[in-house]
Every structure is written in C-alpha cells, then in structure tokens.
Amino acid sequence: MLSVDNLTRHFGRTAAVDRVSFSVERPAFIGIIGRSGAGKSTLLRMLNRLTDATAGEIRFEGRNVLALKGAAKRAWQSDCAMIFQQFNLVPRLDVVSNVLHGTLNRRSALATVFNLYPRADIYRAIDILDRLGIAEQAAKRAEALSGGQQQRVAIARALMQDPKIILADEPIASLDPMNAQVVMDALRRIHEEDGRMVIANLHTLDTARRYCDRVIGMRAGRMVFDGRPEQLTTGV
C-alpha cells in the first residue's frame, strides 16, 4: 500500500535522507530509529509533503504522492496526520478547540474565535478524547495538562482527520517513562483497533522492541536496517 523508492533529500551538500527504499504491504506499526541527525524527521516530513524530496518516489494506494498538488495534496496530508515531540498545541486554547483545529484548514479560522464548530464535530472530538482517557480535560486550556495528556490531545487532533497513517516524530521524547507508556499504548491500540498504519521516529531501541512490528534503522541518511525488532541486536 505504501512504497518509498530511492527517496532522497539534500540540504546543500548534505544528504539528510539518502536513497531510502522500503515498502509496506498492510497497515503496520513501524519504528524508525537512529541517532539525532540520522534523517528520521526529514523522512517523515517528506512522507506527508511538509518537506520536498530532492529525488525518489513515494506511492500510496496507487497515488504518486510527490506529484500531488492543491486539494489532492491537502487530502493526502489529512490521510497522514502528524504528531510531534513538542505536541504543537495552541497552549491557551481549550482542549476541544485544539482537537478541532486540525479541521480548520477546511473552514474559517474564525470558528475558533466565535466557537462556531458544528455540534457533530464537537461531539466527535469528545468521543475521541474519551477513547484516549482524557474527556475530563476537554474544557481546560491545553497548557494546563501534563505532557502525556497534551500528546494525547495531539493524537485526538490527528484522529479527527480519520488518517490512514499516523506519522509520529519522536512522540515520547519529551515525556517521563509513565507518560511515554500511556502515549505509546494509545498509538498501539489505535493501530490495532482501527487498522491505521503508524510510523514513529523513536530514539530508544527498547520502545521499538516493545511496540513495533517492524523497525527501520537510519544512520547518516542511509537505511541500515529493516526488519523485525527482535532481529535488531546492536545499536544503529
């Protein structure tokens, strides 16, 4: 369903991502591991077209992802929702509005100011928050929540788009071990129950071993490992 072929991104003379190829047949939980600077973020950002590729190809269900423009590109970006290390919420905005924010590109930004969200969307947001165990926080400002709760709000915002793929860029790097586990458990459950693909940049092998079906290892832009986590014996 997803294939990446010789994907490359240069920044000046540096190849941040250097001829990376892999394909995914069915929704999997994939971890990308590697040191800081290995190219993990750049790879994820190319997948959802936040960053342009220098060369190579991405195909998803027959679509040539790198050729998508305009509305088709925006539809693709909804199909692969992204979550980030620093959550990227609007701190002073309440949790429900943050969750609905992901749908804003299709509506007016004034919806936030005047609370003009369709009621059905608000209920759906609350249902998603409930599923993630944070419905009680719905009316609070995002900044009042713990890191683990904030990351679950970001996951809820992603789920509002009903994505086929969730791209997670170091989703637990800012969290303590307990919150990290809550967030990874939530991602794993969404993967299993909804059949959504998850591709997560992770910096610890332990997390990859525990949660992923497949691990891609990167070093200096190159893919140096692709296999089951239990086959991974040394650091990448």
The minimum distance between CB 20 and ligand ADP, in angstroms, equals 11
The answer to whether the beta carbons of residues 85 and 173 sit under 8 Å apart is yes
**Residue 37 interacting with ligand ADP (CB under 6 A):** yes
User: Quick one: residue 115, left, alpha or beta (phi over 0 = left, psi -120 to 50 = alpha)?
Assistant: left
**Residue 49 interacting with ligand ADP (CB under 6 A):** no
Give the neighbor-by-neighbor strand order of the sheet with 14-24: 14-24, 2-11, 55-60, 63-64
Binding residue for ligand ADP, selected from 101, 124, 128, 170, defined by CB under 6 A: 170
Binding residue for ligand ADP, selected from 8, 40, 171, 217, defined by CB under 6 A: 40
The 3 state secondary structure assigned to 84-116 is ECCCCCCCCCEHHHHHHHCCHHHCCCHHHHHCC
**Residue 36 interacting with ligand ADP (CB under 6 A):** yes
Q: Which is nearer to ligand ADP, 25 or 52 (CB)?
A: 52
The minimum distance between CB 205 and ligand ADP, in angstroms, equals 15
Q: Which stretch binds ligand ADP (CB under 6 A): 22-30, 35-43, 75-83, 103-111?
A: 35-43
Query: How many angstroms separate the CA atoms of 187 and 189, rounded?
Result: 5
Residue type, 19: R
Query: How many angstroms separate the CA atoms of 196 and 173, rounded?
Result: 22
Q: Which is nearer to ligand ADP, 40 or 157 (CB)?
A: 40
**Residue 171 interacting with ligand ADP (CB under 6 A):** no
Binding residue for ligand ADP, selected from 2, 4, 7, 16, defined by CB under 6 A: 16
The H or E element containing residue 48 is none
Q: Which is nearer to ligand ADP, 210 or 219 (CB)?
A: 219
**Contact residues: ligand ADP, CB under 6 A:** 11, 14, 16, 34, 36-42, 85, 170
